[in-house]
Amino acid sequence: MPDQGFFALFIVGLLGGTHCAGMCGGIAGALSLQVPQGRGAWTIHVAYNLGRIGSYMLAGAIAGTVGYAFGNLLPIQRGLYLFASLMLVALGIYLLGATQALAVLERGGQWLWRRVQPATRRFMPVRGPAQALPLGMLWGWLPCGLVYSALTTALASGSAARGALAMAAFGLGTLPNLLLAGLLLARFRRFAQARATRLASGLLVLGYGVYGVVMALRAMT
C-alpha cells in the first residue's frame, strides 16, 4: 500500500464520522453519564479511545502479517494491492453517500462480537482510566463495516508495522467524532456532513483508489 493510502484512511475515519458516531457514539455517551464531569472525565474518554484505536492497530498488524505471509509471491502481492485499491474506491463511494454499502460487512462480524461482548461487563460501570482502557480495547471489536473496509487495506501494507500504522491513521481520524463534545462536536458534525465536504473527500479517496487500480492493472500486464 503506498504512503498516500495512510492519508486516505485518515480522511475516511475523519469524514465517515456519522457512521462512527452511530456505532460507538452511544458507548461514548454512556461513559459520559457514568463519569463525574471535570478533568477526570477527559482522562477516561482518552483512555477509552486509546484502547479502541489500540485494538484497530492490533487487527491491522494481524492483517499486515497475513498479507506479508501470502504476498511474497509477486502475483499475490499485486492482487492484494489491487484489492486494497478497490476497497479505497468503495470507501470513496461510501463518503459520496452510499452509506448502506457497509451493512453486509457488519453482519459478517457478529460472530466474533457475540464472543467478545460478555467480557465488557467486568469493566462497567467505568470509574477510571484503568477500566476505560480495556473496555475500549474490547469495544474496538464491535462490528463496523467502516473499520472492516479500512482493515482490508492493511492486507496490502507489506508488514505488521505498516498494517498497524494504517489502522492508527484510520483510528486517529475517528477521534473528533467520538472524543469531542458539546458545541465543538456539533460544529464538526455540520462540517463533516456538509455536501461539499463529503463530495471533496469522497472524490479524493476515490481518486487514490482509482490511481492504485490503474497502477495495479499496469503491473499485471
Amino acid at 184: L
What does the pLDDT look like over 170-181, one tens digit per residue? Answer: 999 888 777 764
Provide the pLDDT for residue 58.
96
DSSP 57-116: HHHHHHHHHHHHHH-SSHHHHHHHHHHHHHHHHHHHHHHTT-GGGGHHHHHHTHHHHHHH
Residue with cell 484505536: 53
For the residues 134-138, what does the mean pLDDT come to? Answer: 91
Q: Cell numbers at residue 79, please?
A: 492482487
Residue 165 has pLDDT above 90, yes or no: yes
| pLDDT (tens digit per residue) in 20-31 | 555 555 555 555
- Domains in the chain: boundaries: 4-220
Instruction: Judge whether residue 169 has pLDDT over 80.
Output: yes
Average pLDDT over residues 29-57: 75
**Higher-confidence residue: 221 or 101?**
221
Residue 131 has pLDDT above 80, yes or no: yes
Cell readout for 195 is 455536501
pTM: 0.76
pLDDT at 183: 39
Query: Mind listing the pLDDT tens digit for each residue in 93-126?
Result: 877 776 565 666 667 677 787 888 889 888 887 7
